[in-house]
Chain A
Amino acid sequence: MFKVFGAILVIGGCGYAGLKMGWIYRLRTDTLRLMQNGLNLLETEISYGATPLPLALRRAGEKLGGETSIVFLHSSSLLQQNVGFTASEAWSAGVQRLKQEVPLTKEETSILLLFGNGLGSSARNEQLKNIALAKEQLNLAREQAAEERARHEKMWQYLGFCLGAVIVLVFI
C-alpha cells in the first residue's frame, strides 16, 4: 500500500515538474504577445491623446491585466511618486519586477530595456518609432519562443511523467 502511494507521489511530483517546465514556455510566448498588446495601447495613448507618460503607462497597464501589466503599472507608479526616477529607470525597474514573475531570456529582457532607454525623452514621432521597433523585435522573439515551445513543451510534459515512472521502476 505504501509502495503504491509512494509511486503515485513520485510520478505525480515529477509529472508536475515537467508540466511546470512546459508551462514556462507557454508563459513566455503569452507574455511576449501581451507585451506587444501593451505597447499597442501605449502607442494609442501617445499618438492620439498625447497623454503624459505616467498616466499613459497606467492606462495601458490597467487595460492589459495579467502578469505583463506589472511593467506598466510599476513604472507608472514610480514616475507618479515624483521621487526623481526617469522614465528609463522606472521602466527598467518594471522589467525587473516582470522577470521575477516570468523567466524571460537575456535577449527578451534586453529588448524591453532598450525600449525603455528611449521612452519619453523625444518628440511624438520618435516615440512611435521606438514603439514600432520594440514591437517588431518582440514579434521576432515571440516567433522564436513559439518555436521553442513547440519543440520543448510536450517533451517536458512527457519527460516529467516518464522520469517519475523510471524512478519508481528503479526503486521497486
Chain B
Amino acid sequence: MPRVVINRKPAGTVTGGLSSKPGAQQSDSRSSWLAAMTPYLRNTLQAHLGDCLEEIEEIRLRINRPLIIRLGQKEITITAEGEVTAELSCGLVLTPQEIGRNLEILSQSSLYAWEDELQNGYLTIPGGHRVGLAGRAVLDKGALKTLKDISGLNYRIGREIKGCADKVVPFVVRRDQICRTLIVSPPQCGKTTLLRDLVRQLSDGVASLGFGGVNVGLVDERSEVAGMCQNQPQFDIGMRTDVLDACPKAQGMIMLIRAMSPRVVATDEIGKTEDLDALNHALQAGVCVVTTVHAGSLEEIRQRPVLKDLLRNRFFECLVFLSRRCGVGTLEAVYDGDTLERVR
C-alpha cells in the first residue's frame, strides 16, 4: 500500500499562486469545521493528519465507501489502522450510522431549522465552511422540497487568505476609480477566496494606493463569501460591507443598490439571463460590480450566451484569470475589458 508523504508546514502558509505573498495570512479555521464532525472522525483526522488539517480542501463521506480527503490536487484516505494512504479503496469505510450521526451533529440536531438550506443541498457551518449533501429528493408538486436519506456529505473547507488580492487590487482600483471586474477561473481555483479579499480591501481601503475604501454590498447567494452564520460574517469582509445572505443574485443586487446605496456590488458566479438585467441596473445606477464566473479562458467566455453579450458590450473593465498552475489562485492573466488586451 503506497504511503503518502505530506509536507508538514506551519499553519498559515499556503502553496503557490496568489496566496504565496509573504504577508498573506490564513485564519485559523481548524476547530470550527472539526466541531461539525463526530468525535470518532474528529479524533481520527486530528490524530493522523495533525498539522496538515490546514491544507484540507474537501472531506467526502459516503455511506459504505471510504473516507476521501482532498489536499490540493491530491486525494488521500486513512485506513482503519490509522495509516495515511493514496490507495483510496483501503480507506476507512463509513457506516450509515456514522453518516447519520455526522448529519445530526453538523445540523446541531436541528434539521427542521435548515429546511431552506437542505433545499439547496448544503449547510453552512460556523467558520463559513459548507457541507454539501447528497440524498433522496422529496418533491412537492414537482418542486424540490427537501432531501432525505442522506447518503453523502462533502465538507468544503472555506479559506480566508488575507492579502491574496494584493496583486489584483492595482488593476481594479485605478486613480480612485473602481473598475467593473470579472474574476474568471475553472472550479476550485480560488475565485471565491480572491473575491472575499478583494471585497475586504475595497471596503477597508488600500493605503498603498491611497484608496480610502467605499461601501460594498455583497450578495452572498450561497453563503460562501461571507459565510454568514447567526447573522455574523465568519470571514473578514471589511468594515463597510453589507451582506445580503442567501438571496438570489439578480434580486439581491437590485435590492442592495436601492436600500444600501453601495459604491460596489460584489457577487459570486453570475451567468443566468436574469443576472444581465441586474448588472445593467447597476451600470445605470453608477455602481461598480465585482463578480466571478466559471470558465477556463477568454474563448470560453465568448461562447457563453450571457457572458458573450457582457463582453461585447464592454461591461467589464477588468478581467482577472486564475488557475491552479502554481497552486490554488495562480494569477494567470489580467485583461483590459475595453480593448481585451492582456495587461499582465
Contacts and interface: CB of A to CB of B under 8 A. Distances in A.
Interface of A: 46, 50-54, 56, 79, 82-84, 86-87, 90, 119-124, 126-127
A124 B112 contact: yes
Given A53-B108, A121-B104, A83 B39 contact: yes
Contact of B113 (A50, A83, A86, A126): A50
Interface string B43-69: 000000000000000000000000000
Contacts of B115: 50, 123-124
B317 to A, nearest CB: 43
B105 interface: yes
Contacts of A84: 38-40, 42, 105
Contacts of A87: 104, 109
Nearest to A56: B110
A30 to B, nearest CB: 28
A121 B109 contact: yes
CB-based closest 3 A-B pairs:
A120-B109, A87-B109, A84-B39
B146 interface: yes
A52 B109 CA distance: 8
Interface string B77-120: 00000000000000000000000110011011111110100000
Interface residues of B, number: 18
A124 B100 CA distance: 18
B223 to A, nearest CB: 16
B101 A120 contact: no
Nearest to A83: B39
B104 A82 contact: no
Contacts of A127: 112
B35 interface: yes
Given A86-B101, A123-B146, A124-B112, 6 more contacts: A50-B113, A50-B115, A53-B109, A54-B110, A83-B39, A84-B42
Q: Is the interface of A mostly helix, strand, loop or mixed?
A: loop
14 contacts: A50-B112, A50-B115, A51-B110, A52-B113, A79-B108, A82-B35, A86-B101, A120-B104, A120-B108, A121-B104, A121-B111, A122-B111, A123-B146, A126-B112
Contacts of B100: 121
Most A CB contacts (10 A, CB to CB) among B100, B105, B112, B115 go to B112
Contact of A123 (B38, B42, B109, B111): B111
Interface of B: 35, 38-40, 42, 100-101, 104-105, 107-113, 115, 146
Contacts of A46: 112
B198 to A, nearest CB: 32
Contacts of B113: 50-53
A148 to B, nearest CB: 34
Given A84-B105, A86-B101, A87-B104, A120 B39 contact: no
Contacts of B40: 84
A47 B214 CA distance: 40
Contacts of A121: 100, 104, 109, 111
A53 B105 CA distance: 11
Contacts of B108: 52-54, 79, 120
A86 B105 contact: yes
A18 B19 CA distance: 76
A82 B34 CA distance: 10
Contacts of B35: 82
A86 B112 contact: no
Given A82-B35, A84-B38, A123 B105 contact: no
Nearest to B112: A124
A123 B101 CA distance: 16
Nearest to B34: A82
Nearest to A125: B112
B109 A119 contact: yes
Contacts of A86: 101, 104-105, 109
A120 B110 CA distance: 5
Contacts of A52: 108, 110, 113
A163 to B, nearest CB: 49
Most A CB contacts (10 A, CB to CB) among B35, B104, B109 go to B109
Contacts of A119: 109
Contacts of B110: 51-54, 56, 120
Nearest to B145: A123
B39 A123 contact: no
Nearest to A51: B113
A85 B180 CA distance: 48
A121 B38 CA distance: 15
